[in-house]
A and B are shown apart, each in its own frame.
Chain A
């Protein structure tokens, strides 16, 4: 069971940090609070039974309309342990009015760029990051493309039933999704 090692260790050493533990499709997912994030990751990195030294990625999933109501963003971390050949998944939930998570730059050097990418595409801010600026999009870009309320299309393809989509950008209706670009 992938990630069970991390979950068991956390339940032994930091039981208050584990808010929820779920198993599915052969993988274990652990929900933690953002205030425990740095402590949990440091433990997972340094404890010899775990040794999750390699950051795999950090990203976020946008759930704008979850039932029952839960915070909007699931910030997902994955860490790999080469020594014990395992990979674990941690999830931190943050709401849209306060999408801040403490940075893990000090724990894993590789988290620097992953956090910048997460900020760039989804808008999660990482407090304590030394230079949180956009990495993939131009620095003057508006909006965070991977949010669900950001339009997917670049150029509308006009058919006979939606000819207004073929209008140039200045003449399109103002409330069409896609922002200033």
Chain B
């Protein structure tokens, strides 16, 4: 056998018609009369491919370093932090009311849940209870937010796999929900509607008509969305059996929300540890069976219908009364008192400029956001600013399970799996 080049594969740099090439192929264990097109693997070196942070399908600035063997993913290392904003540091130097707009921008696809979690944590420390009308309105707005978030997830993850019609349908319907947001708060997305002690304000008159229209029209619209892709053979081929996560692994990684429920674990914080009067409503929790991408998709589609059920019940039983607590530590004095009482005027001034004072202590309050368990660990030292507010982001833990889910899958399927986890980088990086 003639001498072979020392570096690279045994056939590197050789003229394919020469003898040495044939000898090199023999060394590699390839039959001599095998056509070049039939060659499969030359050596076992893998390729490192960088996906992101600017990539259309990573749903934000996520960078994945993929170790590929041909098209099969051997290892996936997510590199996050491209949207790190330092929220937790900002919480420490703002008053509790000033923190609310910051919370909006963390999980920016479902901002009301961040508001709710933070407000509930502060209310736990203060020991105040929001009136029932305020709680029901919180539930209605949050479930509308869950609908909007799931619609956006549906549109973008379908778009990733090629279903562009689904994207346009989803955004058309999302606009109707953003119109309701704009009505109650003036802002389409970051409403800061849920505050400590209740809400920004009571809802105006057109609210009832708009929510009534949503309740009437959305069941058919969601059925239309499902009609587009649920039984579509291309969709099923691209999602069934892909990205499986077993229930034990889901729990070990700390995955929550539809990722956990898609794997068959029926845990939903709205049922398990109800907050804000969720226990007054009758709804089901959809659970998957195999933990693949298709199951998570079905779980979220069904969750949209359950959200509509909750909105209907809350809307029909909406009680009258105040929406905000009257506890003077938090609530501003009524306007007519400001004309007569000096103490009220001073109190109003101090509440607005300095903010509310919260007793010292530590609490953990979790809410069920569309992505999973969104928790606020709030440590207060008795002043008007949080001492430490740690946000437990669901997307952070869900994403840590990604390397496990894509090991052994094809690179094109990585896109489908990321879409099914439904991450928001604002949540992951905070």
A: residues with CB less than 8 A from B are: 2, 24-27, 29, 53-57, 59, 61-62, 76, 78, 80, 82, 85, 87, 89, 108-110, 112-114, 117, 121, 134-138, 145-146, 150, 152
Question: Which of A54, A59, A134 is the one whose CB lies under 8 Å from B251?
Answer: A54
B81: Cβ under 8 A from any A Cβ: yes
Q: Given A85-B272, A110-B400 in contact, is the A146-B361 Cβ separation under 8 Å?
A: no
Give B196 Cβ to nearest chain A Cβ, in Å: 15
- A108–B252 touching, CB < 8 Å: yes
Q: Given A113-B396, A113-B400 in contact, is the A53-B88 Cβ separation under 8 Å?
A: no
Enumerate chain B residues within 8 angstroms of A80, measured Cβ to Cβ. 373
Q: In the bound complex, how far is the Cα of B390 from the Cα of A121, in angstroms? A: 11
The A-contacting residues of B in range 372-411, CB under 8 angstroms, are 373, 375, 377, 379, 387-388, 390, 392, 396-397, 400-401, 404
Q: In the bound complex, how far is the Cα of B379 from the Cα of A62, in angstroms? A: 11
B429: Cβ under 8 A from any A Cβ: yes
Interface of B, helix, strand, loop or mixed by DSSP: mixed
Interface of A, helix, strand, loop or mixed by DSSP: mixed
Q: In the bound complex, how far is the Cα of B86 from the Cα of A136, in angstroms? A: 10
- A110–B88 touching, CB < 8 Å: no
Q: Given A56-B373, A57-B375 in contact, is the A136-B364 Cβ separation under 8 Å?
A: no
Give B373 Cβ to nearest chain A Cβ, in Å: 7
B254: Cβ under 8 A from any A Cβ: yes
Q: Report the 5 A-B pairs with minimum CB-CB distance, sorted nearest first.
A: A110-B254, A136-B81, A110-B253, A136-B84, A109-B252
- A24–B251 touching, CB < 8 Å: no
Q: In the bound complex, how far is the Cα of B377 from the Cα of A146, in angstroms? A: 15
- A136–B80 touching, CB < 8 Å: yes
Task: List the B residue with the shortest CB-CB distance to A108.
Answer: B252
Enumerate chain A residues within 8 angstroms of B92, measured Cβ to Cβ. 152
Enumerate chain A residues within 8 angstroms of B377, measured Cβ to Cβ. 57, 59, 76, 78
B125: Cβ under 8 A from any A Cβ: yes
- B392–A56 touching, CB < 8 Å: yes
Interface string of B32-62 (1 = CB under 8 A from A): 0000000000000000000000000000000
Give B271 Cβ to nearest chain A Cβ, in Å: 10
Enumerate chain A residues within 8 angstroms of B127, measured Cβ to Cβ. 25
Question: Which of A57, A109, A138 is the one whose CB lies under 8 Å from B390?
Answer: A57
